[in-house]
Amino acid sequence: MNAIAEQQQNKAGLPGKMIWGFVAMLIFMAGDGLEHAWLSPYLIEKGLTVQQAATLFTAYGAVLAVSAYFSGVLTEIWGPRKVMLIGLITWLVGQILFIELGLKLHSFEWMLPTYALRGIGYPFFCYSFLVWVTYRSPQRIMATAVGLFWAAWSGGLYVVGSYFPAFMTDKIGYMGLLWSAVAWVLVGGIVGLLVVGNDRVSEDKGDAKEKIKSLLSGFTICIEKPKVAIGGLVRIINSVGVGALPIFFPLYLASEYNYSTGEWLTIWGTFWLANIAFNLVIPYISDKWLGWRKTIQWIGSVGCGVMTLVLFYTPHVVGHNFWAMTLVAIIFGIVLCGFVPLSALVTALAPDQKGSAMAIVSFGAGMSYFIAPAIVGLFINSIGAEGLAWVFSIFYFSGAVLMKFMKLPEEENKAEGKEDLTKRTASVN
């Protein structure tokens, strides 16, 4: 397509090939998410301890966090296609080895490195595509393009990744699901690579070592602008509770209240369906009335803290009641949208260092998938499922406290102005 045709296409909306890219992301992430909500109880049923299952997810999360941080700069150095290809290959190799050497041989020693290898896959593939989207989208539709990316990402990982196993497990079994994931990822990967083609996102021919050095120096922004560091902590809190739930909560529901795996997967998928549906509604409320910081503080942090406990204690009150749990999951998914303005808030706090600020936010997102299973592994035996629910609820409430320190300069100036006015009024009186 020549430049004129591309420009005309952009005037009408999103470039056509970008839409296919979003479809590719949804398919890829559906494959990546097919086992997330049931793998932990499955492995424990096959003989692993809860601690071993948690260790598996912790190793995966550690690799994922590092991969998420490096995906952006490597995309600028090598171009999106090469980084996406590395992500696709490492995911496929990790998945096949995980099945053949880990699961079939019942070897935890093989499960650990092969599942961790998969952690390189989706950050390299999907986040590299996101960088391409930000470079190829006209400014006037940038928010729409990025919003569609995250809708495709979460729709694949959590919605299709939960509903497909819920309906197909009885037909093809758990191993069949894992092999079907290979097909999902392969199809999504090929389509995504065809979409980006040989595009480069940067014409900068600077030394690659200097670019990597620049990326690593991004951590210095946490010292220069402590509010960015706080934003990174809140991003960890954002995902740490929901990241831990699939590891211990389905086991608790099954053992105490006889919920089936299919029921849990449907509840979990509905949670994320509600989250996607309200991903535009809550930010609109934020922009129109509450503001970014208060939305994160009250809807996101306090809302998720309350709903974590409500989700846990609902079976205590109603017993085995699928529809009650589904309703609670829907409300939980909605309040989780309260964290959506966090990226905008953090970058607004560092307007001249947006890239470094976003790197910290991305790193925080990845770290949550390292910290969540680590906490489960360390404390499940000593405090049980109820204790873990309180731990993650307290995490969310602590996020609300941290948000008190995340005021934008205009908020601080406004607050200082009110304080000065109060002092002057008091002195006159």
- In this structure, the answer to whether residues 123 and 68 fall within a common structural domain is yes
Last residue of a domain, one of 169, 200, 231: 200
- In this structure, the answer to whether residues 398 and 333 fall within a common structural domain is yes
405: nearest Cα among 136, 279, 225, 254: 225
pLDDT > 50? residue 172: yes
pLDDT > 50? residue 402: yes
Per-residue confidence (pLDDT) for residue 190, from 0 to 100: 97
pTM score: 0.80
Per-residue confidence (pLDDT) for residue 4, from 0 to 100: 40
Q: How far is CA 211 from CA 136, 202, 363, in A?
A: 21, 12, 18
Which own/partner pairs from 284-290 qualify as long-range (CB within 8 Å, at least 24 positions apart)? 286/340, 286/341
Calculate ∠ Cα 388-359-82, nearest 5°: 110
Please, are residues 348 and 215 in contact by the beta-carbon 8 Å criterion? no
Judge whether 206 lies within some domain.
no
Judge whether 8 lies within some domain.
no
Q: Which residues of 389-400 are buried (b: 16+ CB within 10 A; e: fewer)?
A: bebbbebbbebb
Last residue of a domain, one of 168, 200, 232: 200
Judge whether 359 lies within some domain.
yes
Judge whether 409 lies within some domain.
yes
More confidently predicted of 383 and 132: 383
pLDDT tens for each residue of 98-111: 999 999 999 999 99
Calculate ∠ Cα 294-299-303, nearest 5°: 135
Region 375-389: what's the mean pLDDT? 94
pLDDT tens for each residue of 50-78: 899 999 999 999 999 889 888 877 887 88
- In this structure, the answer to whether residues 306 and 251 fall within a common structural domain is yes
- In this structure, the answer to whether residues 233 and 325 fall within a common structural domain is yes
Cα Rg, the chain, nearest whole Å:
22
pLDDT > 50? residue 150: yes
More confidently predicted of 416 and 381: 381
Percentage of the chain lying above the pLDDT 70 cut: 87
Q: Please name the residue that has the structure tokens 């690799």.
A: 63
* Domain limits for position 60: 15-200
Query: Band of the pLDDT at 10, cuts 50, 70, 90?
Result: very low
- In this structure, the answer to whether residues 187 and 225 fall within a common structural domain is no
Per-residue confidence (pLDDT) for residue 143, from 0 to 100: 60
Region 345-362: what's the mean pLDDT? 79
- In this structure, the answer to whether residues 282 and 332 fall within a common structural domain is yes
- In this structure, the answer to whether residues 54 and 112 fall within a common structural domain is yes
- In this structure, the answer to whether residues 369 and 331 fall within a common structural domain is yes
Tokens of residue 120, six digits: 């390189």
**H-run or E-run covering 32:** helix 16-33
Per-residue confidence (pLDDT) for residue 13, from 0 to 100: 62
pLDDT tens for each residue of 404-429: 999 888 776 665 555 555 555 555 55
pLDDT > 70? residue 183: yes
Per-residue confidence (pLDDT) for residue 68, from 0 to 100: 85
- In this structure, the answer to whether residues 168 and 266 fall within a common structural domain is no
Please, are residues 396 and 308 in contact by the beta-carbon 8 Å criterion? yes
Judge whether 86 lies within some domain.
yes
Instruction: Give the integer Cα–Cα distance in Å for 283 and 267.
Output: 24
pLDDT tens for each residue of 293-327: 999 999 999 999 999 999 999 999 999 999 999 99
More confidently predicted of 109 and 289: 109
More confidently predicted of 14 and 223: 223
Instruction: Give the integer Cα–Cα distance in Å for 70 and 368.
Output: 16
Judge whether 23 lies within some domain.
yes
- In this structure, the answer to whether residues 135 and 253 fall within a common structural domain is no
Domain count, the chain: 2
Which own/partner pairs from 88-91 qualify as long-range (CB within 8 Å, at least 24 positions apart)? 88/121, 88/125, 88/185, 88/186, 88/189, 88/192, 88/193, 90/117, 90/118, 90/120, 90/121, 90/124, 91/32, 91/118, 91/120, 91/121, 91/122, 91/125, 91/185, 91/189
Judge whether 422 lies within some domain.
no
The CATH code of the domain that includes 241 is: 1.20.1250.20
Residues in the chain: 429
Query: Band of the pLDDT at 28, cuts 50, 70, 90?
Result: very high
pLDDT tens for each residue of 201-253: 665 555 666 666 666 656 788 888 899 999 999 999 999 999 999 999 999 99
SS3 per-residue string spanning 299-338: HHHHHHHHHHHHHHHHHHHHCCCHHHHHHHHHHHHHHHHH
Query: Band of the pLDDT at 397, cuts 50, 70, 90?
Result: very high
Of 22-31, 268-277, 418-427, the poorest mean pLDDT is in: 418-427
Instruction: Give the integer Cα–Cα distance in Å for 257 and 248.
Output: 14
pLDDT > 90? residue 361: no
Judge whether 351 lies within some domain.
yes
Instruction: Give the integer Cα–Cα distance in Å for 250 and 298.
Output: 28
Please, are residues 228 and 346 in contact by the beta-carbon 8 Å criterion? yes
pLDDT > 80? residue 163: yes
Per-residue confidence (pLDDT) for residue 167, from 0 to 100: 92
Percentage of the chain lying above the pLDDT 90 cut: 59
Ramachandran bin of 225, using left for φ above 0, alpha for ψ from -120 to 50, beta for the remaining angles: beta
Last residue of a domain, one of 143, 166, 200: 200
Q: Can you tell me whether residue 397 is helix, strand or coil?
A: helix
- In this structure, the answer to whether residues 68 and 107 fall within a common structural domain is yes
- In this structure, the answer to whether residues 22 and 170 fall within a common structural domain is yes
